[in-house]
Structure 1
Amino acid sequence: MPLVMMTGLPSSGKSTRAAELKRLFEERLAQPQNQHRTMAVQIVGDSTLGVLHSAYATPSAEKMARGALLSAVERLVSRETIVVVDAPNYIKGLRYQLYCIGREVSTTQCLVHCAIPVDVARQINQRREDGYDAPTFEELAMRYEEPNPAAKWDSPLFTVIQHDPDDVLPFDRIWDAVVEQRAPAPNFATAMKPVTETNYLFELDRATQEIINAVLEAQKSGVPTFEVVVPGTAEKVKLPGRSLTLSELRRLRMQFTKLNRQVPLKIDKIPVLFVNYLNINL
């Protein structure tokens, strides 16, 4: 049932903590009096998927690696399995996508942040035979987005100081958050509505396409702009300082549509939520 996401800089010890978590979960689940003892524990991440560090050297290779991770999590997450996602998860957009996968199947989840100073992580990475090459390490470190406990996809957040023997995993709190707590309602609980609305998919496609068209039209004007007002919402799409391509916008639209096909949103909430999704992932 639970989804535990790891995050941290390269060489911050995510895999070490993930393995420790798996061992602790299995030990507690094995206790005869534990009512959850039928659950299994599974680690999924770069090492289990055969993703090499070189996958983070180019945008296209990294995109494929993210796709493989998301697909694997979708296959594994269930009410009978604790899934520990041992991957960099260094941008909030990917953490948001993982969060949405968990909400789709109505599971609890949490984020474990392996905190470490960049200089220390760099030194550890340089000493490792299987470390990232220097340019890739610096790129990942520069783009790393620290988790924000105020964001729903980064909460509940547990931070551990890596390579500090006195800083132990707060396992009891993690266990309580993801095993003992009741699972939330699937996907955007406050925006759900009954599936009896037959025109939902039509409205989902229409509203998201209108927003894509608005962004493309604003870019065609040739006037520099950093925000685009879109129909159906007072929210604005915040442009990333470059022109967005049609294929890029289509990809994000398809991802949003896939995440929200099975558990419908309120139709009047679709534009707001899609704009928020774009702003997180652009």
Structure 2
Amino acid sequence: MPLIIMTGLPSSGKSTRAAELRRLFEERLAQPEHQHRRLTVQIVGDDTLGVSHSAYASAHEEKMARGALLSAVERLVSRECVLIADAPNYIKGLRYQLHCIAREVGTTHCVVHCAISADAARAINAARGDAGYSAELFEALAARYEEPNAASRWDSPLFTVIQHDPADALPFEDIWAAVVERRAPPPNFATAMKPVAETNYLFELERATQEVIAAILESQKSGVPVAQLPVPGTAERVRMPGRSLTLSELRRQRMQFTRLNRQVPLQIEKIAELFVKYLNINL
């Protein structure tokens, strides 16, 4: 049924909490009288996918690791399985993509944040020696970490636990209520269905997203940096990340947006607006 997304700094204890969650779910589901006994529990993440710490030292390998996680979640998430995504998930864009996958399937999701100070995580990582991250990689990942925000729909419901603190137990009852007893929320802008898909929907999807990309590339030709860029077809503006965006980078974002919305049609007149919002979240 639900997707539970673990997140936290390196060595914050995500895998420990994920294993604890699986045990608590299995114990609850094993009760003879429980109405959700048909549910199974599974963990998917770096360990199960064979992703090593060193993968995060290379942009290309990290991209492959994120792709492997997304593919595995797409394959395994269902209304019959409690799926725990035990990976760094430190980029908000990745958590957003996982959130969209849950919405596509029509199931609930939540985020469990293993909170810990950078100093404490650094000390734990160093004590692990070769089993931990290298000191340089730890600092790089810690600097790039984007903490979850309960005000963002892809990070909500959000449950924060202080890792390595025996007094701070997992709020299992709240997590259970949020992902098992709660009904799945209606589709958001990335997965919203319209009653009837126009026969030219895919053509319009390709056209509108391509026009947004063309407007961004054309604006960059002047060499004058802008903070916000207007694009055709919408009053929304692209929030530029303070650097030039490459064609390959924009194409990757467009392909992901198209994949998310190919089977679940958007309103044609809103495609450009929603693509700009998608870029503003993921760039």
State whether TM-score is above 0.5. yes
The letter for the 2-side match of 1:162 is Q
Runs of 4+ residues deviating >2 angstroms? 184-192
Please give the secondary structure, in 1, of the residue aligned with 2:208.
helix
Match of 1:60 in 2: 60
In structure 1, distance between residues paired with 2:53 and 2:192: 39
Match of 2:144 in 1: 143
Deviation at 1:196, TM superposition (A): 3.4
Match of 2:276 in 1: 275
8 A contact 2:90–2:145 mirrored in 1: yes
In structure 1, distance between residues paired with 2:33 and 2:270: 45
Match of 1:184 in 2: 185
What pairs with 1:1-150 in structure 2 (closer than 5 Å)? 1-129=1-129, 130-150=131-151
8 A contact 2:100–2:190 mirrored in 1: no
Deviations for 1:216-252, whole angstroms, at most 9, x for unmatched residues? Answer: 0011122222221111111111121211111110000
Deviation at 1:114, TM superposition (A): 0.3
Please give the secondary structure, in 2, of the residue aligned with 1:74.
helix
Identity across aligned pairs (percent)? 76
The letter for the 2-side match of 1:160 is V
In structure 2, distance between residues paired with 1:13 and 1:94: 19
The letter for the 1-side match of 2:93 is G
Deviation at 1:180, TM superposition (A): 0.6
Q: In structure 1, list runs of 5 or more residues that go unmatched.
A: none
Measured on the aligned residues, the alpha-carbon RMSD in Å equals 1.2
Deviations for 1:195-215, whole angstroms, at most 9, x for unmatched residues? Answer: 432121111111100000000
TM-score (norm 1): 0.97
In structure 2, distance between residues paired with 1:272 and 1:99: 20
8 A contact 2:189–2:274 mirrored in 1: no
Say yes or no: does 1:162 pair with 2:163. Answer: yes
Match of 1:216 in 2: 217
TM-score (norm 2): 0.97
Moved more, 260-269 or 139-148: 260-269
8 A contact 1:237–1:278 mirrored in 2: yes
The letter for the 2-side match of 1:60 is H
